[in-house]
Structure 1
Amino acid sequence: MAEYLSPGVYVEEFESGAKPLEGVSTSTAGFIGLAARGPVSGLPLLITSPADFARAFGSYLSESAFGTYRYLAYAVNQFFMNGGSRCYVMRVAPEDAKAASGGGEVLSVTAKNPGAWGNQIRLSFVPASKAKTQIYEELDGNRYRVKNASAFYPGDVVVFTDGASKQGNTVVSVHDGVIELASALSGDVTDTSLVPSKVIATSEFTLQVAYGTESETYEKASLNPEAPNYVEKLVGRSNLVDLSVVAASSADAPYALIAGSAGGESYSFALAGGSDGSASSLSPADFIGVDEGPGRRTGIQSFIDNDVVSIMAIPGVTDPNVQLSLVAHCESLGSRFAILDLPREATKVQDVLAHRDLFDSSYCALYNPWLQVFDPLDKRNIFIPPSGTIAGVYSRSDSTRGVQKAPANETLRGVVGLDVQYNNGEQDVLNPAGVNLIRAFTGQGIRVWGARTCSSNPIWKYINVRRLFIFLESSIKNGSNWVVFEPNTEQLWARVQRTIDAFLTRVWRDGALAGTSPSEAFYINIGRDTMTQDDIDSGRLICVIGVAPVKPAEFVVFRMTQKTGSE
């Protein structure tokens, strides 16, 4: 309670009405797969365009080297072509993939992540100096009063020059404009003239790291760990390499130590030994990933730390262990939906059904067949798995119509053909089983012609119903954090009910809920009908919400009869 100690007028603000509750995004996709470069552990990277993907993960992989594991780049490109706006990507690398490395006796440099891409990284070194000054007075004990000592640090290698000769040394301490060196300088070193000819300067180098069109420059880097421009600190923010100092105890100039006898006005070297690995060394464990704690997760596990993604796919990977792990991941989080591919060789109805029978979940959907698209790498048409394209269709449908619209009867952009042409009789068998076919219709292009999950529960038969509930549950969860630790009283219950009622009314008006009025579309129960005194004493607030989702008109039936003249 506020204190009122002196007479006056007090104005206080308080909240009494409903809090705005915003709907979460349902169109952000998450992809996992092989790439030419990119991190293999940590957090998935946000990608907003195909060009963004190329910068972070490189270009397309060759079919001869990686076969059916190479489709991540194609899937991401199809995702954006078909209406996707943003996705998160996590790279998987074979166990025998190696990072390129190089350096020498002074520096150890390694490419940021494994892959042959690192062999194209080149490091260039040029001598530099961050500070120089003149010596005003020579003191006892190897100490010298200088004009400006602000940029000198203990451990810095310095060079004194009088125009004719040079002397190397090391800074021991710096205090009040006085620099103490490891050893005394010889000769007359003082110079008080306006334009000095005798100066003492620090010795550093400028490092440039180049890869293709990418370039990083670290100016006036030092081998002195005590200096703020220590090379390890500067290169620590690099997107291309990891660098560490192996040995730098010599008093020689850093550039001379690094370049050695090959040094001149500049020195450079390229990394080597990087390898993409082989497809034969890949296993389901590489895609499933490991959980070694925050920031160190790989594969599917890396998306545990991501609460934005709502659509998941591992393009072209049809191993049951991987796909079942992806479905389990979506089910355990309850906030995302998995799009699954079928093996390309599974074209016959019985083979498709055999793979379909592995799944029973409302958090995933199967699509077949594979799609024919143009390959920019080989300059020819190839067949790719449909998951990336379908994820783009989901995103486009969500943006234009809403998550309540079944992502079906939608055209596929950038697709010129199908691997298999299924007919109505074959779809009569596959559709009830929960396999969504992609079909070509005369004059209508290639379209998604199915909207079913892999669930045996008829309540969760349709994709849009499950994704609508994901949207509602995530939105209410994210928008209700303000309730936690509030007094569990009737006033709070009323505010919660008003907040959710306003949100669901807006969802109903958008056409996501059935009914001619809000009362027919949903109900909200909170209070003594949903909570006992024990619930309240245990700190629980229970709100029961019922909604009537719209269902797609999957079967359109026109019943016709003959009208006679007497009728």
Structure 2
Amino acid sequence: MAEYLSPGVYVEEFDSGAQPLEGASTSTAGFIGLAQRGEIEGVPQLVTSVADFNRLYGGYLSENAFGEYRFLAYGVEHFFLNGGSRCYIMRVAPTDAKPAANQAEGNVESSVLAIEAKNPGTWGNQIRLTVVPSSKAKTQIYEIVGDRQYRVKNNAGFNVGDVVAFEADGVKQYSKIVSSQDNIIELSEALEGEEDVIDNNLLPVKVLTTCEVTLHVFYGDEAETYEKVSLNVSAANHISKIVSRSNIVKVQDVTSGDLGSVPPFEVISGAKEETGKFQIALSGGSDGSLANLSAADYMGQDRGPGKRTGIQSFIDNDVVSIMAIPGVTDPNVQLALVAHCENLGSRFAILDIPRDKTKVADVMTHRNIFDSSYAAMYNPWLQVFDPLDKRNIFIPPSGSVAGIYARSDNSRGVQKAPANEVVRGAVGLDCQYNKGEQDILNPKGVNLIRYFAGQGIRVWGARTTSSNTLWKYVNVRRLFIFLEESIKNGTNWVVFEPNDEQLWARVQRTIDAFLTRVWRDGALLGTSANEAFYINIGRSTMTQDDIDNGRLICVIGVAPVKPAEFVIFRITQKTREE
């Protein structure tokens, strides 16, 4: 209740109606797999195009080096090709993968700066750095005020610990700042020829300058520049602090103790500043070997927020609603992905079947491992053009299917089964299944991709891997994910509100307005809103004990639309007697 202490007119706002409830996104995908570069620990990175993926994670991987584990880049490419617009990527790398570094035998700079690529991989061997002398501040000396103390025109930018150079008549002498305050600078060593250091001219010829370096980092078409960085640990422009935002390298100052009055360029390069520039090349980066890649790398480790790997890293992400690990068909990894989706209840897994399992019996062997309404399985693999080898290859369908999910959601809505949709970019299939084989696989929850003359290659199935017939359709499960996430995200305002009839009425109006809109969009079955859903909240759903313990319980029932999977036309002859 507001306080009214002085006479006047008070205008106040209050909420009287239902809070508008926005639908949650269902078309954002999450991918996990091997890549040329990218962080292997932390949070997945947002990618909105193939070019974006190439910038963050590199291009295609070699078949000879990575075999069946190389399909992340292809999966992401065909996700966007088939209608996807945004996805999050988490890279996986073998345990013996190493980042490129400058710590090679005989490197002069290795004792001063420890430089290594931002993440493991041979990509780091192409990184080049150039160090150039620079200065962030300069001034002139007006007066000698004491032993090694000088009054200058402006001491801004002169920090304690900085190395400075005094230049007069083309000769430089170096010292270090002990204190800098009120335009008085004290140096560690007195300047020689103190009578000649004063310069009161409007355009000075004798100047005191700070000594820094500018670091240029190059990788392919990428270039980063870090101007006027220092080896002064206490300064804001210390090299380790500034370069920490780099997407290419990590730089650590490993100097031990006081370096004296030596300019940072000379410390790093071992050469005089007059040299102009010093180049550093990184080496020793390794992609690792497949022998050191296991299911555990994909399943990931939970080392706490910001340090999770593999599948576990997506715990920190609450945007993704579709998950896939293209080409990885290890049952341990796939079961971990399905469990992840079930535990969070907000995402759906798309699973691949091993390419060598094409016979119905072999496919069923792999299919029978799973029983979940939060996953769907697709087969066979797709024939596409490989820009790396300039030939057609076969890739797993999960990336393309994730794009079709997104395309169907955006064009028709999540209630539309993502089936009878053309697979873009596919020129063939690894094997052709006929109707008799699909008669066996479809009821068991294996969604086939088939070729139809004049209609192209299409997804011809929309079933989950669940044995529960209530959840056998992909669109039904994903519709409920959409409803649950939308209601959860849109009713946060209810928490800690007074749990009374007024709140119950507002919650009911909020959800009723949302579900009515969903019904009008064709996602719910019924000729009226009353037939499509019901909402019960109040004394009929809560006891006094619930209210006393802070629980507000709302029971919602919806009638989802089911796909017309079997279209049957019964035809008979019409006779005159009829």
CA distance in 1, matches of 2:81, 2:312: 27
Residues 399-418 of structure 1: pairs in structure 2 closer than 5 A: 399-418=410-429
Shift of 1:164: 4.2
CA distance in 1, matches of 2:220, 2:170: 42
Q: TM-score under structure 2 normalisation?
A: 0.97
1:324 and 2:330 matched: no
Letter in 2 for 1:252: V
Q: Which residue of 2 aligns with 1:215?
A: 223
Matched to 1:53, the amino acid is F
Deviation at 1:351, TM superposition (A): 0.5
Range with greater deviation from structure 2 (187-196 or 235-244): 187-196
Question: Map of 1:500-539 to 2, 5 A cutoff?
Answer: 500-539=511-550
Higher mean C-alpha displacement, 184-193 vs 459-468:
184-193
Deviation string 1:389-437 (CA, Å, 9 cap, x unpaired) is 0000000000000000000000000000000100011000000000000
From the superposition, tell whether residues 166 and 8 of structure 1 become closer, same or farther in structure 2 (CA, over 3 Å): closer
**Which residue of 2 is the match for residue 344 of structure 1?**
355
Letter in 1 for 2:21: L
CA distance in 2, matches of 1:306, 1:166: 55
| Residue 24 of structure 2 corresponds to residue 18 of structure 1 | no
Q: Which among 119, 123, 129 is matched to residue 125 of structure 2?
A: 119
Deviations 1:277-323 (A, max 9, x none): 11121000000000011000000000001000000000000000000
- Following superposition, the deviation at residue 262 of structure 1 comes to 8.6
Between 101-110 and 385-394, the greater mean CA deviation after superposition = 101-110
RMSD: 1.0
Q: What residue number does 2:234 align with?
A: 226
**Match 1:297 to one of 283, 292, 308:** 308
Q: Which of 81, 102, 111 matches 1:105?
A: 111
Which residue pairs with 1:45 in the alignment? Answer: 45
Matched AA of 2:266: A
Structure 1 residue 433 corresponds to structure 2 residue 444 = yes
Q: State the AA in 2 paired with 1:390.
A: V
- Cα distance in 1 for residues equivalent to 2:440 and 2:124: 50
Superposition map of 1:83-482 within 5 A: 83-102=83-102, 103-187=109-193, 188=195, 189-247=197-255, 249-250=258-259, 251-261=261-271, 264-482=275-493
Deviation at 1:543, TM superposition (A): 0.3
Equivalent-residue separation in structure 2 for 1:202 and 1:492 (angstroms): 65
Distance 2:67 2:170 in 1: 65
State the one-letter code of the partner of 1:129: S
Q: In the alignment, what sits opposite 1:36?
A: 36
The whole-number CA distance in structure 1 between the counterparts of 2:3 and 2:53 is: 58
Distance across 1 between alignment mates of 2:3 and 2:176? 64
- Per the alignment, residue 2 of structure 1 pairs with 2
Q: Structure 1 CA distance, aligned partners of 2:263 and 2:8?
A: 72
The CA distance in 1 between the partners of 2:309 and 2:8, in whole Å, is 62
Q: Which amino acid aligns with 1:7?
A: P
1:200-223 residue CA offsets vs partner (Å, 9 max, x unmatched) = 111111110000110000111111
TM-score relative to the length of structure 1: 0.99
What is the deviation of 1:195?
2.4
Distance 2:464 2:278 in 1: 60
CA 1:262/1:78 → structure 2, altered by over 3 Å: closer, same or farther? farther
C-alpha deviations, 1:300-350, integer Å up to 9, x for none? 000001000000000000000000000000000000000000000010000
Q: Give, as a single letter, the amino acid of the residue that structure 2 aligns with 1:215.
A: A
- Give the counterpart letter for 2:476 in structure 1: V
The count of aligned residue pairs is: 567
Change in Cα spacing, 1:247 to 1:439, as seen in structure 2 (3 Å) is: same
CA distance in 2, matches of 1:404, 1:376: 36
For residues 34 and 201 of structure 2, the distance between their equivalents in structure 1, rounded to whole angstroms, comes to 64
How far off its partner does 1:161 sit? 1.7
Identity %: 71
Change (3 A) 1:164 1:563: closer
1:498-550 superposed Cα distances (whole Å, 9 cap, x missing partner): 00000000000000000000000000000000000000000000000000000
Displacement over 6 Å in runs of 4+: none
Q: Aligned AA for 2:137?
A: A
1:450-497 deviation per Cα after TM superposition (whole angstroms, max 9, x unaligned): 000000000001000000000000000000000000000000000000
- One-letter amino acid matched to 1:555: F
